[in-house]
Amino acid sequence: MPKYTPPFTLSNKILTLVAQISEQIGRLTIQQEQEKLLRLRKVNRMRTVQGSLAIEGSTLTQQQITAILDGKRIIAPPKEVQEAHNAISTYDALAKWQPANSKHLLAAHQLMMKGLVKDAGMYRQEGVGVMSGEQVVHMAPQAERVPKLMADLLQWLKHSDVHPLIASCVFHYELEFIHPFSDGNGRMGRLWQTLILSKWHEVFVNIPVESMVYQHQDNYYLAIRQSTHQTDSAPFIEFMLQMIYDAILEANNTPLNDGLNDGLNDGLKLTALDKEVIKLITNNTHITHMQLSDELGKSVRTIERRIKILKEAGLIKRIGAKKTGYWQVHDSLK
């Protein structure tokens, strides 16, 4: 039995989310017929890859990731194209790995970071700090401690009887805290959580939780900081379970064909708010974020988040400068 147990407490919210997710997974399994699974697999792989890389600063759009999946060449920074190819290959290989196997973890990192860092597939040999702007917000454990810390964490994962939904969140947080690699820790944490969940229920291979995390990126980092401050990963567990639950709800509500796809936003479910935003922009192409906020009774931050998603899906486009430019709506929405 493992000697190390990561520190975490189980709140009522965590237990409630575990129950709700389990219920929704059952509905999703019944709903998603094989034809729909095949159709959504490519879409969700695109959203997973784009979301996870965007958290790390990639500027590639959903259309560009789709083009790469189709084997097409795109015009983009070479490093970002390499990151996308690597991520696609890594998620494609997910099924052959076991979550508690250290060799598999290192092999996944080697594939994820191929051509991007010299020590791909190896634990870091130097100290590392997590920065927020110019401020160090987390000083990771010394490099010489990393192999032992990761061995203990993997042993805990192998023998733990904690529910996989919770165990996957705990592992994700602990990997971020240890920061075992010189680069790619965020990508690997999200990848390995997906792997752990997929071993519990294979439907998680087709649920783009990473895309949901990207939409709430600030809260993702906040949950990590809160967990570190409290020496308890409960805040991160709560956050990630909420993202998983929201991603499943979105998958449950994604229609086979909503008439707005045309290869641009296939798999993207437009919320009622999205439709109102598009309607207002269509009627007034010079409308501002503040005006949208006032019209819809939503915060500017909420409007900005939905605008960002609609832009990445290719449904709307900003032409010109922020103050003097205007909106262009895709023809399929007019």
Q: What is the model's pLDDT at position 268?
A: 53
Q: What are phi and psi of 101, to 5 degrees?
A: -95, 115
Written as six digits, the tokens of 213 are 């995390």
Residue 265 to residue 282: CA distance in whole angstroms: 18
C-alpha atoms less than 13 angstroms from C-alpha of 283 in its C-beta half-sphere: 9
DSSP structural state of residue 205: G
Q: What is the model's pLDDT at position 2?
A: 66
pTM of the model: 0.72
Lowest-confidence segment of 63-72, 146-155, 266-275 by average pLDDT: 266-275
Q: What is the model's pLDDT at position 227?
A: 94
Contact 138, 177 (CB under 8 A): yes
Written as six digits, the tokens of 195 are 């792997």
Residue 238 to residue 217: CA distance in whole angstroms: 15
DSSP structural state of residue 141: P
pLDDT in tens, 168-209: 999 999 999 999 999 999 999 999 999 999 999 888 887 889
Residue 191 to residue 308: CA distance in whole angstroms: 24
Q: Is the pLDDT of residue 40 over 90?
A: no
Contact 326, 301 (CB under 8 A): no
- Architecture per CATH, domain 12-252, reads as Orthogonal Bundle (1.10)
Q: Which range has the top average pLDDT, 4-8, 41-45, 76-80, 236-240?
A: 236-240
Domain ranges in the chain with CATH number 1.10.10.10: 272-333
Tally Cβ neighbours within 10 Å of residue 302: 14
Q: Is the pLDDT of residue 267 over 60?
A: no
pLDDT in tens, 233-260: 999 999 999 999 988 887 766 554 433 3
Average pLDDT over residues 7-35: 78
DSSP string, 68-79: HHTT----S-HH
* Average confidence score pLDDT of the chain: 84
Q: What is the model's pLDDT at position 29?
A: 58
CATH of 272-333, one of 1.10.10.10, 3.30.420.40, 1.20.1250.20, 1.10.275.10: 1.10.10.10
Contact 176, 185 (CB under 8 A): yes
Lowest-confidence segment of 6-20, 111-125, 319-333 by average pLDDT: 319-333
Band (pLDDT 50/70/90 cuts) for residue 167 is very high
Q: What percent of the chain has pLDDT over 90?
A: 42
Q: What is the model's pLDDT at position 273?
A: 83
Sequence-distant (6+) residues with CB within 8 A of 324 are: none
Helices (H), 32-145: 34-55, 62-69, 78-92, 102-112
Using the structure block, give the residue that is written with the tokens 């649920």.
207
Q: Is the pLDDT of residue 45 over 90?
A: no
Q: E strands, 66-198, where?
A: 129-132, 135-139
